[in-house]
Amino acid sequence: MQIEYANMLKWFYNNHLDKIDRFVESVSFNQQKSKEQLLLGLKEKNIVIPKNEDGKIIIEIVGGWFGWPLIGMLQKYFGSSILKINFFEMDPFAVKVLHRYIKEFNPYFNINVYEQDWFTYEENRRAHILINTSCEHMRDFADMKKYFINPERTLLMLTSNDKIDEPDHINCKQSAVQLAEDNKVKMLHGDKIWFDTYRRFITIGKWNA
């Protein structure tokens, strides 16, 4: 086990034993497979990543739970290209865990943590990549396009699922195509992953003009 994850497990055990099951789930096979497959789609389709004039990338993550292992995978994939990550998460405990992860991994880039509902954040900003791996937990967000500078350049990386028996899954999908259409995204890559009791859908693309 990577030492940082071992330290996180110890931290949960010593400080939040009643929530250690959440840590286990966050690094489970299903969670890691979903995120790995999302990045694999970029590689397989050789999708061009938008960057600024210095070749750097601003990433915005919505509902990213504990942050890792996704952020670790992003760092491994993009290397030194990441300028900063703007991270939106409403769960106070998840934010607490994220800050602990940041302390453990000490990434070279800034992670700006917004403990608020992403849909209420109406500041104009630039994001080269917008990632939401929890679309089943929230409404569609095509109407948020207006808050992004040059939104036609923003690469969207989305996942949802068809696991309708979870009470907090309020916006399940039946395909990657539906996920793209409902969010008004022109799909560059679509995929699905079969798990024991549900399917997870992957959409990578850009907002329709």
Question: 45-101: per-residue pLDDT in tens?
Answer: 899 999 999 999 999 999 889 999 999 999 999 999 999 999 999 999 999 999 999
Mean pLDDT of 187-209: 93
- Rounded to an integer, the average pLDDT of 136-151 is 95
Give the model's confidence band at 13: pLDDT under 50 very low, under 70 low, under 90 confident, else very high: very high
The yes-or-no verdict on residue 1 having pLDDT over 90 is no
If pLDDT is split at 50, 70 and 90, which confidence band does 203 have?
A: very high
Pull the structure tokens for residue 156: 């969207």
Query: Closest Cα to residue 103, out of 1, 205, 8?
Result: 8
| Mean pLDDT within 14-30 | 95
Of the candidates 22, 24, 36, 28, the residue with the CA atom closest to the CA atom of residue 193: 36
How many CB atoms are located within 10 Å of the residue 38 CB?
25
Predicted confidence band of residue 104 (pLDDT cuts 50, 70, 90): very high
Label residue 148 by pLDDT band (50, 70, 90): very high
Residues 6+ apart with CB under 8 A from 134: 62, 63, 64, 65, 159
Helix (H) / strand (E) element for 72: namely: helix 70-78
Q: Are 209 and 192 in contact (CB under 8 A)?
A: no
User: Percent of the chain beyond pLDDT 70?
Assistant: 100
SS3 state at 90: coil
At 23, list the tokens. 């840590």
161, 173 Cβ separation under 8 angstroms: yes
Q: CB of 104 within 8 A of CB of 6?
A: no
| Residue 148 amino acid letter | F
The pLDDT value given to residue 67: 97
Portion of the chain with pLDDT greater than 90, in percent? 94
pLDDT of 209 higher than 80: no
Q: Given this model, what pLDDT does residue 5 score?
A: 96
In CATH, the architecture of 3-207 is: 3-Layer(aba) Sandwich (3.40)
Ranges 15-19, 25-29, 92-96: which has the least confidence: 25-29
Residues whose CB falls within 8 Å of the CB of residue 66, separated by 6 or more in sequence, listed in order: 22, 23, 26, 94, 97, 98, 101
Query: What pLDDT score was predicted for residue 200?
Result: 96
